[in-house]
Structure 1
Amino acid sequence: MPTVAAIVCFSAFACMPQKVVVVDGDTIIVRGERIRIEGINAPELKGKCHEESVLARRARSRLMELIEAAKIDIERNGSDRYRRTLASVTVGGSAVGDVLMREGLARKWVQHYNGQQEPWCQADVGQALKAWN
C-alpha cells in the first residue's frame, strides 16, 4: 500500500511527523490505527466494474496528493462496524472528504439508503453522484 509523509495532528497539542498509509480513497492508517474518513464513501479498488476500479485508484492517488507533506488534522469520532476509527480529516481547514466529493471521487456516506445503485458503474457517473450528494 502506498505511504506518504505528513505532519499528523490528533489534537491541537500533539502534532508529529508520521508515515501515513493510504489504503484507498476513504481509509488511511496512522501508527497502526485504521482511520475511515467520516462522511464519505469512495469507490472500491476491487470494484464491480472496470470504471469503479479506475475511479478507486484515482481517489486513492488524489487522497495521497492532498495529505502528502501536509499538516493534517484528525478528529476522532467513534468507530465503524469494522472497528476502524471514524474521523474528520482536514488539510489547511478543508475536509479531504469534501474535496473528493466535489471532484467526483467519492459520494456522501449514508447509513440507510433507499436501494440506490452505487454511482461508479452507471453510464452517467456524474448524474448518479448528484443523486447521492
Structure 2
Amino acid sequence: MTRSGRLYRDKIAAFALLALIALFAAILNNRPQAILSGDFNVVDGDSLMRNGERLRLLGIDAPEYRQQCERDGAAFPCGQQARALLVKLLQGGSAECRGNDRDGYNRLLVTCRMKGADLNGEMVRRGMAASFGSYRSEENEARVAQAGMWAGSFERPQEFRREQEAQRAQGSDPLKKAVDFIRHLAGWD
C-alpha cells in the first residue's frame, strides 16, 4: 500500500472513531428531563425541596441563609431576604421546575417557571442571587439598579461558603484548640 493510501485509511479510521465517540456521548447525554410541578418547600434563596427531592436553581448562587451583607454601613440578613423573596415568588400559583443534571450534592439542577416568568432569572434581577454561569444580563440589571445585594457590599456566596468551610476545618483541629486555649490563658491573644 502506498503512503497516500495508508494516510487515507488512517483518516477514515480516525473519522470513524470520532463518529463512534460522538454517538456514545449523545446516548449518554440523552437523559430524560425531569419535570416537577406544584408546591415546593424553599430551603434558601437557591434551593428547594419537593417530596424529599432536593433541587438547586440552575445558573444562580444566592447568599447562604446565615450570610450577612452590608448596606449603608449596616449589616442586613441578605441570606434570609433571598429565601423570603423565593418564597414570595412561589406564592399564588403552581411552579414548574425542569432539569436533567445533578450537582455534586446530588441535587437536581432546575430552571423554575411560574406564570411564564423564569424564577431563577428573577432572583438575580432583583439582586438576591448572583449569576453562576447564566443570567449575566440580569445581574448587570441588578447592579445598575443597585437592587438587593448590589445596594451595598457583599461577599459572593461561593466565597462565603469557602470561608465557612475553612473555619469549620480549622475549628475541628484539637491541637489548634489546645494552643488557642493556652494562648488565651497566658493573655497572648
Q: CA deviation at 1:77?
A: 2.6
Among 64, 72, 79, the residue aligned to 2:95: 72
Q: 1: CA distance between counterparts of 2:93 and 2:86?
A: 11
Among 96, 120, 130, the residue aligned to 1:107: 130
Whose relative contact order is higher, 1 or 2, with alpha carbons under 8 Å and at least 6 apart?
A: 1
Residues 1:32 and 2:52 aligned together: yes
Q: 2: CA distance between counterparts of 1:89 and 1:121?
A: 22
Is 2:66–2:80's contact at 8 Å kept on the other side of the alignment?
Answer: no
Q: 2: CA distance between counterparts of 1:103 and 1:125?
A: 15
Match of 1:98, SS state, is helix
Cα RMSD after superposing both structures: 3.0
Q: 2: CA distance between counterparts of 1:56 and 1:27?
A: 12
Structure 1 pair 55/78, CA: closer, same or farther in 2 (3 Å)? same
Gaps of 5+ in 2: 1-33, 135-147, 157-189
Deviations 1:59-95 (Å, cap 9, x if unpaired)? 1011001112312111113100111110111111111
| CA radius of gyration, larger in | 2
Gaps of 5+ in 1: 1-9, 112-119, 129-133
Greater strand proportion: 1
Residues 1:22 and 2:24 aligned together: no
Q: CA deviation at 1:124?
A: 3.6
- What TM-score, normalized by structure 1, do the two folds share? 0.66
- Map of 1:45 onto structure 2: 65
Greater helix proportion: 2
How many residues of Structure 1 are paired with residues of Structure 2 in the alignment? 105
- What TM-score, normalized by structure 2, do the two folds share? 0.48
- Map of 1:114 onto structure 2: none
Identity over aligned pairs, percent? 28
Match of 2:43, SS state, is strand
Q: 1: CA distance between counterparts of 2:61 and 2:76?
A: 14
Which amino acid counterpart does residue 125 of structure 1 have in structure 2? S
Q: 1: CA distance between counterparts of 2:93 and 2:151?
A: 36
Q: 1: CA distance between counterparts of 2:149 and 2:90?
A: 27
